[in-house]
Structure formats: structure tokens, C-alpha cells
Amino acid sequence: MADVTVERARVEDIPAMQDVWYESWLATYPNEEVGITRDGVEERWKNRHSPEKVEKMRAFIEGDNESARLFVARVDGKVVGVCRVSREENFNELNALYVLPDYLGQGIGTQLWNEAHTFLDARKVTYVYVATYNARAIRFYEKLGFIDTGGRVTEDRLRVNGIMIPQMEMKLAPTT
């Protein structure tokens, strides 16, 4: 297992975090059956380092947002994973958890989750939405204790070349 450190994201992490998202999306979401192409993913992320995207991330990281957190995992100083979680009024949400493809299977996602989970309200259910065809992520979340609620959703923010990524809703029961 890699020597991993997990901590809150810093402004200087933004370019590396954007690349983690991009590379993870390229490895995960293209799906011929659904109609999502590699070119579509590349198009979606082509402006990931634009001043507007960087500023939006900087504002989030430096902001006083007490309901959401962004964490990074590092191996030898390199950002290899990103996790965003939020505390909503009646539930928690695991908004995103991505690890670079070359670092999958090394426990990094679990370490990210373990750190991010400490920020959430243990008295509330936690939801995550995962692509219905992302078997690896579904297995990962099941190992963490999440179960499929049977809910199926599409969100406009998860659109690639005009097609919304089909998602399943999973939940983790409160721990207290």
C-alpha cells in the first residue's frame, strides 16, 4: 500500500485536482451502450484550467462554507485523489470521490472516505450517486457499507455530449 496523506484541499492543489477529475472521468464514464464518448468527456473537461474554473475552486476552498469540504490524497506529495462531501439539512452527501486510475486498488479511496466521513453528521444518512455502469465504484461503496436504495436519477451537471450519465442512489445508515 502506498504511503498516503489525506488533508483538506489547498488552493495550490487546484490544477492537480482538476486533472484527477479529468483522468478519472476519462477512465470511468465513456460507455458505448449509454452513448458517452471519450471525445465527449475530453470536451467537457477541456477548460478545466481556465481562470473561471480555477477561481470557482479557489473561492470554494478559501470560503467560509461550513457545510462542505474538499479533501485530497497525496502520495509522495502528488495529488492522486479528491473527495468532496457536504452536510445538508436532513442528510449528508458524498458528492465526489475520485482516485487517479494508476492508484486504484491501493486503499487511497478508503483513506479519503475515512477522513471526509469525520466531517459529516453521524446522526444522518449519507447518500452517494454513482454511474449505474460503474461496477468498480459500486463495489467500493458497498464495502464502505452503502446500499442501493433502488433510486435511479440523472442530473444535468453530469451531462456528456448531450447525454446524462445514469446514476443509482446509494445510502449509508447513520452510525448513532
The 10s digit of each residue's pLDDT in 107-143 is 999 999 999 999 999 999 999 999 999 999 999 999 9
Query: CB-based burial of residue 91 (10 Å sphere; 0-12 exposed, 13-18 middle, 19+ buried)?
Result: middle
At residue 163, the pLDDT reads 85
Phi, psi of 76 (to 5 degrees): 50, 40
Residues sharing a CB contact under 8 Å with residue 47, sequence separation 6 or more, in sequence order? 53
**Residues 29, 131: contact at Cβ < 8 Å?**
yes
At residue 154, the pLDDT reads 72
Split into its structural domains, the chain has a count of: 1
The CATH number of the domain where 140 resides is what?
3.40.630.30
- Domain range for 111: 4-172
Amino acid at 71: F
Give 23-78 as a 3 state SS string.
HHHHHHCCECCCCECHHHHHHHHCCCCCHHHHHHHHHHHHCCCCCEEEEEEEECCE
At residue 156, the pLDDT reads 67
Q: Give the Å distances, CA to CA, from 127 to 9, 25, 91, 98.
A: 22, 20, 7, 16
Q: Give strand pairing partners of 128.
A: 94, 170
**Prediction pTM value:** 0.93
Query: CB-based burial of residue 168 (10 Å sphere; 0-12 exposed, 13-18 middle, 19+ buried)?
Result: buried
